[in-house]
Chains A and B, each alone.
Chain A
Amino acid sequence: MYFQDLIAALNAYWADRGCAIVQPAGLEVGAGTFNLNTFLRSLGPEHWHCAYVEPSRRPTDGRYGENPNRLQHYYQYQVILKPAPDDVQQSYLGSLRALGISERAHDIRFVEDDWESPTLGAWGLGWEVWLDGLEITQFTYFQEVGGIKLDPIPVELTYGLERICMALQGVDNVYHLQWNNRLTYAEMHKRNEWEQSTYNFEKSDPAVLFRLFDTFESEAKRLLAAGLVLPGYEFVQKCSHTFNLLDARGAISVSERMKYILRVRDLAALSAQGYLRLRESLGFPLAPRHA
């Protein structure tokens, strides 16, 4: 199965199960959880089912294109089901079957994983899903987001597309993946890994990044205070990514690190509170109607 077919198959599978197929945030994010379709939509009483690919950036994981398993830019496939359906595990196994992974030929495990995002003020419980010992998905019942207790509880499925595809194509090096019948993952991304790693570790200018962080932070505060939750939250995401770049550059000492994380977390909490107020003022249009 080609890399692009993997995405198409997951889109078809989850569309079939009532998910809106939406698009990436269009911003640099560390994970699909930052996308407002997860972070903000998890809040409040409204129901929400969606799926999307999220190109994710983890600057510290860059290896200049030389490591067969580590990338600073990779793809997550994200599914949010709120409320979490009772048969969500079987639905998930169904999605693996749709990719040609039979749970009987393989060994599938749900291995304890407590998920926590300090910058998002979010935590949940669930599992890493192992396919023959390989972690292919994070499966999380969110409990809190932006410091706010959730009800109903959403479930988040995050598929590691490269890993799943490597298992399907039987290759040991991510760059050997066939994207389609002509192109490899290397063709699409290897140069980018080298350039971005060089930027992240060597060429980024910490002075500029520190300035950007401050600017993004004050913009986020200003916009959130003005009730513009959505652009405000975009600046929170920019802050978070800028922090990640500073971290990769080694520009933030360990003691300062926690302070920056708390600064982003405060903004995330403000966004979450603002979003809840916004949806409430609209009468929570996606909440189920009771008689």
Chain B
Amino acid sequence: MPDRDFLLEIGCEEIPARFLPPATEQLETGLRRILAEHRIPVAAVHAYATPCRLVVWARDIGRAADTRVVERTGPPWDAAYGADGRPTAALEGFLKSVGGDANSIVKVQKKDRAFVGVRLKEKGRPTAKILPEILPALIASISFPKAMRWRAGDAAAFARPVRWILCLLHGRPLRFAAHGLESGAVTFGNKFFHPQPFRPASAAGYFRKLEQKMVMVSPAKRREKILRGAKMILARRGLSADLPEDLVTEVVHLTEFPTVLLGGFDRSFLDIPAVILKSAMSHHQRYFPVTAAGGKLAPHFLVVRNGPPDPKGIVAKGNARVLTARFSDTKYFFETDRKKKLADRIDGLKGVVYLEGLGTLHDRARRLRDLLVILPPRIGIDLDLDRYADVAYLCKADLLTEVVREFPELQGVMGRIYAEKEGLPAEIPAAIAEHYQPRGPADPLPETPLGALLALADKFELLFGAYSVGLRPTASGDPYGLRRAAIGIARILLARAWHLRIGQMAESAAPIFPDPGAVRKAAPEVLAFFRARLEALLRETHPAEFVLACLNVSDDPCEIAGKVEAFSKIAREGKDRWVTLLRTAKRAHNIVKNEKNLPPLNPGAFQQEEERALHKAFLDWEAAVRRMPERKYTDRLRAILEMAAPLHTFFDKVFVMVDDASLRANRLSLIGAISDAFRSYAEFDRIAVSE
């Protein structure tokens, strides 16, 4: 069967695994886009990647671009024909120059003048001519987090050196130049097992032949082979393994021909806490830890090699030896660490610089302790600080342990383990581990109140501290985790229903920082930053307009979220009530929104009965609302409905915009007072009424 496809393979030295999925995506959408731009028909476009190649395959690609009709404009219509109706020289010259004839002429209107136009069919150029012109730019358009140069005098960069380019169109090589290479018909198999060049005859043949040469081009197939291999090995021995998605994806992109092998290590290492062993295996060696029945760690691991099975066990044994050396180190570190209590490490925090201008980690810990004093009364909870006085320092002490120095990802986790082994009260180890939470959007929140408080302290300290010394997140990066900190604060407060005025925190916390003035100065910016994070968080689960209506009326995240929740609830209660509620609030606002400097309301100046009635209704309503519990947001919102009827009657019978200026002002003041009362709840005008 003749090959009707297009295939491009960029052959490289090993590209970092984490670069591959985004590069694949760029190649696929990039090719799709340029084919569409050049009107080259195609059935489907798929891209793939292995560490050593980026591949894009277009099925059933046309031999030429589609024919199109183009319009050319010529002389003005009135200059195109003579008085006798015959074409003028101008028209004939134009037709000749564009290759049109009398049948192709159309009238083109431009502004108020007509011109001669012709419609011409333009035949599409051959795909084989177009592609070589545009493929170099497609390759150059792939961007990587980090790129390098490798050729003399060449400024073009790629993730790693490009060593060959295979390009086949309808079974024939397509030639163009990129990165100092000429594309051709040649590719290579697995670098270690089939390094010889070969020429695939077709796109389909390319995939088949490469698989024989130990390259599985499709990441999906490699993933399947890894999962199947792991399952077979484990099932035979009654073991199981956690195969986390991100590690599987990484291993998929570290291999061209994955084969899962089982390795083992000495049982005696199982005395080391499982979390350390797992980190050593997965983080540092990209192995999968294995568990026995009952979920306990087994003295085994799964390693994925890049190549065929390992009948003599050389690869498995080599990997086991590496792991054993690492475990020996780890065991030594763990035992050394346990010789010194966490409390005895606190002084050492003085030797570790935190952020420039913010002193040492010891200074940071002192500020955490101060925040543990500041936060509870503001939230309205009690904390027996005497009992937990040292927790603010203890939570950072594990940063000075050997295990955390070797496995930084275990900060907090090791602190908990050491604190438990020292027999500290149960709240302390928990708080040490939890104060880093949530580490990301999927990470759980602190479970204990002390852990939650310490986590808040940690995040406020980071936010105010960083802003006070001029550190800010940028659009592309947030190296200090400020966004994460702000979202963490919001999530903790909301989950625990802890009410806290964020706007007041800067003022209370400023004195504990080296430069209180800078903290106060940054406070509005921190609050705005925090609001933006809270907005994004609430918009995940609520309509944007509800969030925007409530966001700026308070600086207490729980209040804002409670009100947003109330809107969502009432909106579901029935259309009529919802529309009445919004209309009531918006109508009052619309009348007074452009009024400035309204005089104080003077009930003595009322002239109509309806004015007095509305005023009384408002005073009664206000008193009733005041008696409602502050945080019953739904009830308070629903209460606005009570004002619908009095307002309606008032607007029915009273003309506000009378000529008498003082009477008008007094009526506006009445409405203004009511509108202000509504708007202390939310900015209703940000919500649209849909009929």
Contacts and interface: CB of A to CB of B under 8 A. Distances in A.
A187 interface: no
Contacts of B481: none
A254 B353 contact: yes
Interface string B141-166: 00000101111110000001101000
A132 B319 contact: yes
B152 A153 contact: yes
B324 interface: yes
B318 interface: yes
B305 interface: yes
B146 A114 contact: yes
B314 interface: yes
Nearest to A254: B353
A239 to B, nearest CB: 22
A133 B285 contact: yes
B321 interface: yes
Interface in B280-312: 285, 287, 303, 305-307, 310, 312
B591 interface: no
B193 A107 contact: no
A214 to B, nearest CB: 23
A110 B319 contact: no
Interface in A220-263: 253-255
B303 A67 contact: no
A289 B520 CA distance: 65
Interface string A85-127: 0100110010000000001111111111010000000001101
Contact of A151 (B146, B152, B315): B152
A25 B274 CA distance: 45
Interface centre among B148, B351, B352 (most CB of A within 10 A): B148
Contacts of B151: 83, 152-153
Interface in A109-166: 109-112, 114, 124-125, 127, 131-134, 141, 143, 151-153
Question: For chain B, which range describes its interface: under 10, 10 to 19, 20 to 34, or 35 or more residues?
Answer: 35 or more
B318 A172 contact: no
Interface string B112-149: 00000000000000000000000000000000001011
Given A151-B153, A254-B352, A132 B307 contact: no
A110 B13 contact: yes
Contacts of B352: 254
Nearest to A253: B351
Contacts of B14: 109-112, 127
B266 to A, nearest CB: 11
A7 interface: no
A109 B254 contact: yes
Contacts of A90: 195
Given A106-B314, A107-B315, A134-B322, A152 B306 contact: no
B12 to A, nearest CB: 11
B17 interface: yes
Nearest to A257: B353
Given A125-B146, A133-B303, A253-B353, A83 B152 contact: yes
Contacts of A125: 146, 148, 160
B426 interface: no
Contacts of A134: 318, 321-322
Contacts of A152: 151-153
Contacts of A112: 14, 16-18
Contact of B329 (A67, A111, A114): A67
Given A69-B329, A253-B353, A132 B13 contact: no
A84 interface: yes
A19 interface: no
Interface centre among B14, B160, B287 (most CB of A within 10 A): B14
B153 A167 contact: no
Given A106-B314, A112-B17, A132 B322 contact: yes
11 contacts: A67-B329, A69-B325, A69-B328, A104-B193, A107-B310, A109-B306, A125-B146, A127-B14, A153-B149, A153-B150, A255-B353
Given A106-B318, A110-B14, 14 more contacts: A68-B328, A69-B325, A84-B161, A86-B163, A89-B191, A104-B193, A109-B254, A111-B254, A112-B17, A133-B318, A152-B152, A253-B351, A254-B351, A254-B353
Lowest 7 CB-CB distances: which A-B pairs, in order? A132-B318, A152-B152, A112-B16, A110-B14, A133-B319, A254-B353, A107-B305
